Chain A
Amino acid sequence: SQKIEQNSEALNIQEGKTATLTCNYTNYSPAYLQWYRQDPGRGPVFLLLIRENEKEKRKERLKVTFDTTLKQSLFHITASQPADSATYLCALDTDSGYALNFGKGTSLLVTP
């Protein structure tokens, strides 16, 4: 099965800086990779999806890269704001394609 690794330590950054979160995976190569945001006590909310043939995807202040050679995705939040503080989850399609495998997530704290 797929093993997904995200930064285990919380990421603390100052407002206005760029936050960069890492997602590494092993075993098979997924057809796509997704990023979700999860606030405490809530369900995850979809942010971005990037396909295996795409190098980069952008949405407003968010940018995702996908390097299938390194088996790694980077998630960037530019001009970060305290409201961006949350846990960010990386998710890959399962090898059978019926569901998603999620990483443990990285906690981001943006301080004023």
Chain B
Amino acid sequence: EADIYQTPRYLVIGTGKKITLECSQTMGHDKMYWYQQDPGMELHLIHYSYGVNSTEKGDLSSESTVSRIRTEHFPLTLESARPSHTSQYLCASKTDGGGSYNEQFFGPGTRLTVL
């Protein structure tokens, strides 16, 4: 079992609300990622971080923002949720040691529904 945690697991919220999805890992990994996944579809990278104070946008355009103030913590924020943000959000991390071939460890995901 990977030591990467996401809260909440499920969130139903109204349009226009500000939300923060939490992601924490206790493995000391430098690289962290946020993916968005719709049912039956592939994971799309929306944000990633190489380490503290490093954040980059992924391939899929997203209205969300992220921060990386501590190694273990990589929260994702939506300032104003919309129904189009309804999706599964997956957080992942990987070590930077031993080259770039290391596998990614995923959290259980947050299922977000915006009404």
Contact = CB atoms under 8 A, between A and B. Distances in A.
Interface secondary structure of A, over-half rule: loop
B51 interface: no
B101 A51 contact: yes
Given A1-B59, A43-B90, A43-B92, A99 B45 contact: yes
A102 B101 contact: no
- The size class of the interface chain A forms with chain B is 20 to 34
Interface residues of B, number: 26
Nearest to A32: B101
A51 B99 CA distance: 12
B41 A104 contact: yes
Interface in B35-54: 35, 40-43, 45, 48, 50
A66 to B, nearest CB: 13
